[in-house]
Structure 1
Amino acid sequence: MNGPRRMVEEVLAVTPLQEGLLFHAVFDENVPDAYVSRLVLALSGELDADRLRRAAQALVARHPALRSAFRQRRSGEWFQLVATRPAVPWQELDLRPAGSPAEADKHLEALLDEHHRTGFDLGRPPLLRFLLARTGEDRHQLAVTYHHLVLDGWSMPILMRELAALYGSGGDPSALPPVRPHRDHLDWLARRPPEQSARAWRQALAGLPGPTLIAPDADRNGPLPRSVWTRLGERDTRALGAWARARGVTVNSAVQAAWATVIGRLTGRDDVVFGTTVSGRPPELPGAEEMVGFFINTVPTRVRMRPAEPIGDLVVRIQREQTALMEHQHVRLSDIQRWSDRTVLFDTSTAFENYPADDLSAVGSADHAGLRVEGGSGRTTNHFPLSLYALPGPALRLRLDHRPDAVDDVTARHAAELLERALTAVHRAPATPTAALDAAPAAARAARPPAPRAAPPG
């Protein structure tokens, strides 16, 4: 790939979770890739489409992670190569002839679904594409479809801030500070000694009677998931946050405790394991919070259920146990499985999306050369039969994704009800024994209107 112009900037290793995603991407190419994601921005004002295209090109040129592709050596080992200046896919559409705004949105959704089904050739960079759709005289939607291999959710607010700044500067990269490349994170990973992590995970998973599987006979990959939504009302969300702060724990720990009770109910187990998505941005790496790329990892969360233990105490215990493992959350799941003498540990997952990518409050509605970012929505999925996404905000929203080949609609709705009930009990009745959580739902849900069971994607 070296000619008159140097086509490859560098060759890099892959992160532990990238390795896992690549396995699923090539395992069965006849099913949709669950790790194709998208973000849609709602824009208003006088938009210069060519100026925005130049800003998008400058954004991709700025970040090596956005110019990466993935290939396999003969040994089967994956690596990523960073292209020097790949062509950035850009499409413009005028959807005003579609009719009403609702019809334009429907047409755009169909196009984006097609982009999702098309997926990406993982060996050809860049693994993202842009679609700018005009929906009104001063209204546009900018859709970014990307493969999760090159971007995690924590990167999205950074990218959107930078895209807005580059649009305002006419695509001038000097308007932004220098980039700390994703390579620095890979170097940090390579320097981590495995011995301490091996001991920590062996201890955390010692005596585990077996994996926690909600769909033990499900295929490894399957159709794209459906979603069931629930939420806590604003009053309950504020009360849960106040309860957590008073005890020095996070709302995420409360969500994990509630999810553990749900998985216990659905599987009949009192020693449960589920996957947890962690940010993977180490505090020891200066500037990690502003780096763009794929940092996240999925690690096991083990919860030994004690029937008489109050749900509030369970939250505190989970926080304590997970804090002890924080410095070991960078290791690959396959290594943790090997250390625990298990080939599989779980088939459900949780993610607490505590970054401002969903409502894009990091971008806000500031004026960027006459263009305003009004908001937007993002959507990521995974291959697990059942996954929980917690979306913080004035009202804590909870999205349960379930693969219809593995978990039916009734089970998913039941899981959402159990989850809402357990989370409400954390702050309303924290002394409730975990075994009694679904025995007295009325107390936990008193004086609160029913939560909605469905919501639009994103």
Structure 2
Amino acid sequence: PHDEEGDILAQLKASFDVSHQRLDIRQAPLMRVRFAQDAANQRWLATLLVHHMALDHTALEVMRHEIQMHLQGHAGQLGDAVPYRNYVAQVCLGVSREEHEGFFRAMLGDIDEPTLPFGLQDVRGDGSSIEEAQQAISTELSRLLRLQARQLGVSAASLYHLAWAQVLGRVSGREEVVFGTVLMGRMQGGEGADRALGMFINTLPISVQVGAQSVRDGVLATHARLSGLLGHEHASLALAQRCSGVVAPTPLFSALLNYRHSVAEPDALQASSTWEGIEELGGEERTNYPLVLSVDDLGEGFSLTVQAVVEIGARRIGAYMEAALTSLVVALEGAAGTSLSDLTILPAQERDRLLVTFNATEADYPQQQTIHGLFEAQVQRTPEAVAVIRGEQRLNYREL
């Protein structure tokens, strides 16, 4: 939105206190519309608050399609609603609890420490201290990522999972990384799942090795692990964590990856005459995790959205991810046997700051003088200056 609309949105958000709104999950429906008249601009503004327990991205599209059919006068052509209980029944009759436990014990049984990037441990946050940054992956890097994925017979999602594991491994000091990955649920949800409302998405842990194994082996192992996880996409996170050596309430992980297939096209609200006079001004989404990477697979290109606590910096994490993807592609192109531990996640600018700027500590001093001679000279120059601090005790140079 331009500045004027941005101001109005800010006022609307403040008046509705959207950031502190909570939905009562005991009462349907899990959505709320708040609206107000913007008399100065002769229009109405509205906010839609929804919870993922009822509406994910696919369900929002379904709902918007139904609204469009009503606006066109074609509500009678809408199909019957798909009951969520059909999906529940299929899940209950699917993979057994014992099979879920066997899979997650094999993957997580030896892990007794959580993966906490930057030491972030609060996985029950309200999103109030989160900042967001978006960036597009360059056309050339996107092309190379897809090329390498095809040549190895893996999905592009596998490369992104490995690159994200690289980033998390470096900022948490771990060679076996665990993070949450969002699974769609609708792909194996049965007939009508693409039109149903309800909780389909699930977050489950995935463990990725980023130590001494080769880049090629790391990609193949990540792809195999991700493929295996899809067969258990309906397991509960609580069950998965109990299969690890990390004892609750300590979280098994505090970072999330949401890889989603999106469409790079103008917004339907703007493209269709049905929505004439109705304009979408923007939206926000939040999770309870302190560090979230969302990857939008746009068919050819990719876009990243990072949500991170302010003190870490969302743009910083996005730059790490792009550097990790670049180093991964370079290695796969010419040196697939390179160890994953030798790849970098640092952008050139930050690497220079760490190695050069922070180490610019040169100081001139009389090199023929002894250490105690230098100290004696300092005592003569500033006898009352503080020389030593220990707790509450202080000594100046004369006293020392």
TM category, shorter: 0.7 to 0.9
* Contact 1:179–1:291, Cα closer than 8 Å, also in 2: yes
Structure 2 segments unaligned to the other structure (5+ residues):
349-400
Q: Give the equivalent residue in structure 2 for 1:426.
A: 328
Matches within 5 A, 1:134-153: 143-153=47-57
Matches within 5 A, 1:216-365: 218=122, 220-224=124-128, 225-283=130-188, 285-310=190-215, 312-342=216-246, 343=248, 344-356=251-263, 365=271
Whole-Å separation in 1 of the counterparts to 2:68 and 2:283: 17
Whole-Å separation in 1 of the counterparts to 2:137 and 2:273: 33
Aligned residue identity for 2:11: A
Q: CA deviation at 1:241?
A: 2.5
The SS at the match of 2:261 is coil
Whole-Å separation in 2 of the counterparts to 1:375 and 1:220: 30
Whole-Å separation in 2 of the counterparts to 1:429 and 1:228: 27
Q: Which has the higher contact order (CA 8 A, sep 6+)?
A: 1
Aligned residue identity for 1:331: A
Whole-Å separation in 2 of the counterparts to 1:252 and 1:258: 10
* Contact 2:123–2:290, Cα closer than 8 Å, also in 1: no
* Contact 2:109–2:243, Cα closer than 8 Å, also in 1: no
Q: Give the equivalent residue in structure 2 for 1:177.
A: 79
Specify the structure having the higher radius of gyration (Cα). Answer: 2
Q: 1:355 to 1:426 in 2, by over 3 A?
A: same
The SS at the match of 1:325 is helix
Matches within 5 A, 1:187-202: 187-192=89-94, 193-202=96-105
Q: Give the equivalent residue in structure 2 for 1:102.
A: 3
1:125 aligns with 2:28: yes
Q: CA deviation at 1:209?
A: 3.8
1:416 aligns with 2:318: yes
The SS at the match of 2:188 is coil
* Contact 1:360–1:376, Cα closer than 8 Å, also in 2: no
Structure 1 segments unaligned to the other structure (5+ residues):
1-41, 43-100, 443-458
The SS at the match of 1:429 is helix
Root mean square deviation, CA, Å: 3.2
Whole-Å separation in 1 of the counterparts to 2:57 and 2:140: 27
1:163 aligns with 2:67: yes
Aligned residue identity for 1:323: S
TM norm structure 2: 0.73
* Contact 1:157–1:360, Cα closer than 8 Å, also in 2: no
Q: 1:397 to 1:349 in 2, by over 3 A?
A: same
* Contact 1:365–1:374, Cα closer than 8 Å, also in 2: no
* Contact 1:230–1:399, Cα closer than 8 Å, also in 2: yes
Q: 1:142 to 1:196 in 2, by over 3 A?
A: same
Q: Give the equivalent residue in structure 1 for 2:358.
A: none
Whole-Å separation in 1 of the counterparts to 2:154 and 2:270: 29
Whole-Å separation in 1 of the counterparts to 2:266 and 2:84: 23
Aligned residues: 335
Q: CA deviation at 1:272?
A: 0.8
Q: Give the equivalent residue in structure 2 for 1:58.
A: none
Q: CA deviation at 1:366?
A: 2.8
Q: CA deviation at 1:250?
A: 2.0
Structure with more helix by fraction = 2
Whole-Å separation in 2 of the counterparts to 1:140 and 1:242: 48
Q: 1:110 to 1:125 in 2, by over 3 A?
A: farther
Question: What percent identity do the matched residue pairs reach?
Answer: 25
1:437 aligns with 2:338: no
